[in-house]
Chains A and B, each alone.
Chain A
Amino acid sequence: MILKNNLKEVRQKKGFTQEELGKSVDVSRQTIISIEGYRYKPTLELAMKISKKLNLKIEKLFYFEH
């Protein structure tokens, strides 16, 4: 099982840049880039902060792919 996410699509749909989203959840732009590229798995705290900021349920944003 691989942890994937819709972060890039949702972020773009909501009109946020990587820089803006990163700033609003206290992480760097590089961290957002890494999450979008599935290279970095965020902690639960960061995942919840991002989903709250994007006004989306966490399971809609992050999901397992078999």
Chain B
Amino acid sequence: MSTKTSWTGRVRAATLEKFEPEDLLPEVQPAYVASWIYIFGVATLAALVMLVASGLYLTLEGPAWWHTSNIGHYVNSVHLWSVELFFVFMVVHLWGKFWMAAWRGRRLATWITGCLAFFASIITGFTGYIIQTNFDSQWIATQAKDGFNAVGIGAFFNTLNTGQAILLHVSLLPLVLGGIVIWHVILVRRKGVVPPIDEAGE
């Protein structure tokens, strides 16, 4: 039982017990990590950093800028290609982890948070496509509205409401996705990178 008298002390003690600095920021990795299939998690994170950086720039300047200026076109393209790479890296990461059964060794929460991050990314990507403010976004929004109405969520999420979609895309969903990703990375660090099946002796 903890001897700490305040909740801050108890939280600190519990955090230090569960998250050791050596686990959170390791300097070396097991030999089996020296394989290309292990780089796609961090490649996904790198694409996410580019996404957030270019997204912040787009948020500051707005649609009139990204549709009309050269630098706006460039930053808009960086944001688009970061999304493409983000999903490509994430899907290859998912395939790799699925085929090495990465939920082994009490890593189920890591696997589940990865799945949640994937679904949150799809919703975030979708809201991004409908706030482009061009004919493409109009087409996607009008087609998606029928789909959302058909499954009964049209009353809560109206894809023709650009204001709602923008707020979801630039505030709520990045917070949700960012939180899940941080949780996922902390779990990876805490449990360690999953070993190959033959290495684990299973």
Interaction A to B: no
- B: which residues have CB within 8 A of A? none
- A: which residues have CB within 8 A of B? none
